Amino acid sequence: MIIGLTGKNGSGKGEVANFLQAAGFTYYSLSDVLREELKKRGKEITRQNLTDFANELRQQKGAGCLGLLTAAKLKPDGNYVIDSIRHPSEVEALKQTPNFYLLAVDADPQTRFERIKLRSREKDTVTYEAFVEQEAKEAAGKKPTDQQLNRTLEMADARIENNGTLEELHQKVRQIIQTVAIDIKRPDWDDYFMQIARQVALRSNCIKRKVAALLVKDQRIISTGYNGTPRGIKNCNEGGCPRCHKIGTSGANLESCLCSHAEENSIVQSAYHGVNIKGATLYTTFSPCLGCTKMIINSGIKEVVYNHAYNLEEISSKLLKEAGIIIRQL
């Protein structure tokens, strides 16, 4: 879950971020990049300097650059809260990441002004008139790459009015997070197992192609395999397979290849460990070759799910269908 925060100065975004951090969310702020660079340049960290530098960066690297820089830090298995989103292109950049939700935090102008006076951060404006004037500039910049806070607020998936107590704010955040959690997109079983297969493929030592296969029964992985030279033989990438080491044409001279295929290894590993695979589903990153197809049929596997099509996919597919085995491309 990735919660993006946008809102005007003093609205309470920082309090929402603190609350979510305490709940286990990892915190990022688009302004952190700006603060770090201003320190390097020896410039004072004021709200005006932050705004000017952000506009400068957007002109140089694109309006969504701060969003892209932050999105690159996110891992798919984490929960994050991202503060200081002030441009529609930053929202669009972050929305490329699954499960991103933009939350707008707002409060009455006078309430916000009183809050920023109390916090005295980054030389905030000290008069209400100056506060209102600066806010108007930040709400809608003159250039497309300038800060566009009003347009950003309009893109929010949810909005919080924060004119009450801190506990009232926290309760509103709880309700939104509980609602958002229901809509979190999880991979279905096919995607789940194929993503694991792609990770298994990284163990392959073959220098021609990295392939992996999983055997699954009752939604449980019972065996894995990846392509490479047999157990105890020098690895393919170390010269163990002369055919692969020559970097020849793909699909040619297969009879001289010493590497075992991923599907073959997953089946053999099951036999090695005494695991029954009858009725299992095989997930493989490439459709099986003819040799592996015959092993699949004779081992009692009921279904094959593959990602990419191999050169001999047509022959193998025909044979699998004739044997009554379900075959699907994911």
Of 263, 303, 314, 322, the catalytic one is 263
Beta carbons within 8 Å of 222's beta carbon, 6+ residues apart: 215, 216, 270, 275, 277, 280
Distance CA 20, CA 180 (A): 14
Q: Are strands 158-161 and 26-29 parallel, antiparallel or unpaired?
A: unpaired
If you ran DSSP here, which 8-state letter would residue 254 be given? G
Kindly give the residue spans of alpha helices, DSSP state H, lying in 149-204. Answer: 149-154, 166-182, 189-201
Q: Is residue 92 annotated as a catalytic residue, yes or no?
A: no
- Assess contact for 329 and 309: CB atoms under 8 A: yes
CB neighbours of residue 272 within 10 Å: 11
Q: Cα dist. 114→83, 149, 310 in Å?
A: 21, 21, 66
- Assess contact for 215 and 270: CB atoms under 8 A: yes
If you ran DSSP here, which 8-state letter would residue 97 be given? S
- Assess contact for 264 and 225: CB atoms under 8 A: yes
**Maximum CA pair distance of the chain?**
82
Which of 310, 278, 272 lies closest to 296, judged by CA?
278
Q: What is the DSSP string of 69-89?
A: HHHTT--TT--EEEE---SHH
Q: Cα dist. 229→199, 250, 268, 285, 296 in Å?
A: 19, 17, 13, 18, 20
Give the residue numbers annotated as catalytic, written as ranges.
263
